[in-house]
Structure 1
Amino acid sequence: MSNDVAQPFCNNAEWGMLDWNDLKYFLAVARGGSTLAASRELRVSQTTVARRIAALEESVGLTLFEKRPAGYALTPSGDELLVHAEEVEAAALRFDSTAGASTRDISGTVRLTTEEVLAMTVLAPLLRELHDLHPKIHIELDSAQTIRDLGAGEADIALRSTSKPQPAGVVGRALCKDDWTLYCSCDYAARHGVPKNKEDLKNHSLVGGGGGNLWRAYSAWIKDMGLEDQVMVQHGSSTGLLSGVRSGFGIAVLPCMVGDGDPDLIRCLPPRENHGRVMWLLTHERVRHAPRVRTTIDFLYERLKRLVSELELAT
């Protein structure tokens, strides 16, 4: 593992020698975990990707990846610089979007699919802002529990959590780890206290449900913990879980992106580690360059990354 100390790209003494196009290869390898995955994403040879990564490491004077049998893993230096590379990417996307705004017709319908609780909390204020900036873009927000097939054209954009590789043609940008954990309201905590460990949960009321795959995973965890008798109400949707917690009825599992951003909610236990789930903004190659889709994705990515950073600083 490298002992290099990462510095922002622009602070490197040889910053003028840096080929900024190499950041595209750096991000592709970091997100894909290998030069092979990056080569497929960028539609170049694997040798080209490896050569550009080597050139970037030489340019900045840091080892950015540890080469392992299973692929490429970011070194501490690479992990620190990933944030800066994403900022450069976001700035380039904003530049491109702004530069082309006068010549492109940014209008039409964008079908956006996600989990209901994210649609009602995280996305709602962002979509209002998007409308203010681009009033000719019409959003169809689909929060059905059925996973929509982007390849079949069932949606244009998905804000989706997954630990699995995406089907051919589906591309996207990773936002953050999709951590979930148990939350209660401040009112509930004042009346009943906050459980300190899993054993304490046997003395608290749980809000169950969530619907679909969420309830299957949540109920399996409840059963494994022997907490079936603690479920005092069951909702059919993820927003039902949120309402149950906010009302002070009991404790329920919620996405940290939602729970940590609500000042009336309290984390009860740390999120489960090593679950492997990542929150992505996804679309399909067929529509990714359509002005209405590209504009919406660029906007959501920037705002959601900012939200994630703010929540990380606050917790």
Structure 2
Amino acid sequence: MFDWNDLKSFLAVAETGSTLAAAQALRVSQTTVARRIAALEEAIGLDLFERRQAGYALTPVGETMLASALAVRDAADRFQDAAGARSRDAGGTVSLTTMEIFAVTILPPILRDLRAAHPGIHIHLDTSDEPRDLATGAADIALRSSKQPAGAGLVGRRIADNPWTVYSSRDYADRHGIPHSREQLATHPFIGGGGHVWEPYQAWLRQYGLEESVVMKYDSASGLLAGVRAGMGLTILPAFLADREPDLIRCIPPKVEDTTGLWLLTHERLRRVPRIRIVLDFIANALTRLGRE
């Protein structure tokens, strides 16, 4: 059985008359083209070219086989065009699950641009505090902050480092100063809660003896953001978004062990579904650009 690349070399040499010109057209070496021609002739048991000093000339058999080879190339081109059109025209609903704090800060302008570029795709945004199980189809795509995503069959990419650390508003810092050490944190009020982030947040406070510093609790992570913006006190937020909030100041650097990643994930059975692929690539590219700003 011959290789498709052997057939491409046959067509290129037939059209250009030499292995050198064919190699330039295919962007490979002249040796590679000559080797592929020889491999094709051996595979089918026919001589397709006469090797002449002036170049390669099709044999009568080669002339006959050329029409069939062109038909194969045309069929491959139609297949590629159809696949491209399918991807461009892909439509339908894509379920995207993430924390509410990401849904109300960094995602809206990205989803606006996605809608403009691909109006046939409709996004269902799920901001449940409980991580959705992509393996059971509870969501198509997840944007998560974690050290290492857990779940069967997950595929995706780590977009950026996303440590959670302590922030205050600029107004609060002007009035009360910025704590630059863990000892100084004990003299400031904290905003707690944050839905499912509260368990690791509370463990962090407990580790440094700061549980009694919590003066108010919110049920969601976006509540933490609202509270710190209002100058109510300090809180812990994901750096990927908090560092891009003009009204917020990072108080202390995160510990290495507190560093998580921002992950964009789907299930392996969905990775090649056109509408899923479009949304994954669009959001990943947008977040990567945002991370460089």
TM (norm. structure 1) is 0.65
CA distance in 2: counterparts of 1:242 and 1:149, whole angstroms:
26
From 207, 211, 224, the counterpart of 2:207: 224
Match in the other structure for 1:197: 181
Match in the other structure for 1:281: 264
Contact 1:180 1:272 in 2 (8 A): no
Contact 2:148 2:261 in 1 (8 A): no
Q: Which amino acid aligns with 1:298?
A: D
Contact 2:142 2:264 in 1 (8 A): yes
Residue 162 of structure 1: CA displacement? Answer: 2.6
Match in the other structure for 1:62: none
Contact 2:163 2:259 in 1 (8 A): no
Match in the other structure for 1:257: 240
Unpaired runs of at least 5, structure 1: 1-15, 18-95, 311-315
Contact 2:161 2:262 in 1 (8 A): yes
Query: Does 2:125 align with 1:141?
Result: yes
Q: How many residues are paired up?
A: 215
CA distance in 2: counterparts of 1:109 and 1:239, whole angstroms:
25
Is the radius of gyration larger for structure 1 or structure 2? 2
Unpaired runs of at least 5, structure 2: 1-26, 29-79
Identity of aligned residues (%): 49
Residue 166 of structure 1: CA displacement? Answer: 4.2
CA distance in 2: counterparts of 1:303 and 1:138, whole angstroms:
18
Residue 287 of structure 1: CA displacement? Answer: 1.4
Match in the other structure for 1:245: 228
CA distance in 1: counterparts of 2:264 and 2:137, whole angstroms:
16
Question: RMSD across aligned C-alpha pairs, in angstroms?
Answer: 2.0
What secondary structure, in the 3-state scheme, does the structure 1 residue paired with 2:269 have? coil
Q: Which amino acid aligns with 1:269?
A: I
Query: Does 2:118 align with 1:122?
Result: no
TM (norm. structure 2) is 0.69
CA 1:103–1:185 in structure 2 vs 1: closer, same or farther (change >3 Å)? closer
CA distance in 1: counterparts of 2:257 and 2:187, whole angstroms:
27
The equivalences for 1:40-189 within 5 A come to: 100-101=84-85, 104-164=88-148, 166-189=150-173
Query: Does 2:252 align with 1:269?
Result: yes
CA 1:141–1:107 in structure 2 vs 1: closer, same or farther (change >3 Å)? same
What secondary structure, in the 3-state scheme, does the structure 2 residue paired with 1:144 have? coil
Residue 176 of structure 1: CA displacement? Answer: 1.3
CA 1:109–1:269 in structure 2 vs 1: closer, same or farther (change >3 Å)? same
Match in the other structure for 2:278: 295
Flag as ranges the 4+ runs of structure 1 deviating above 4 A.
101-104
Residue 105 of structure 1: CA displacement? Answer: 2.7
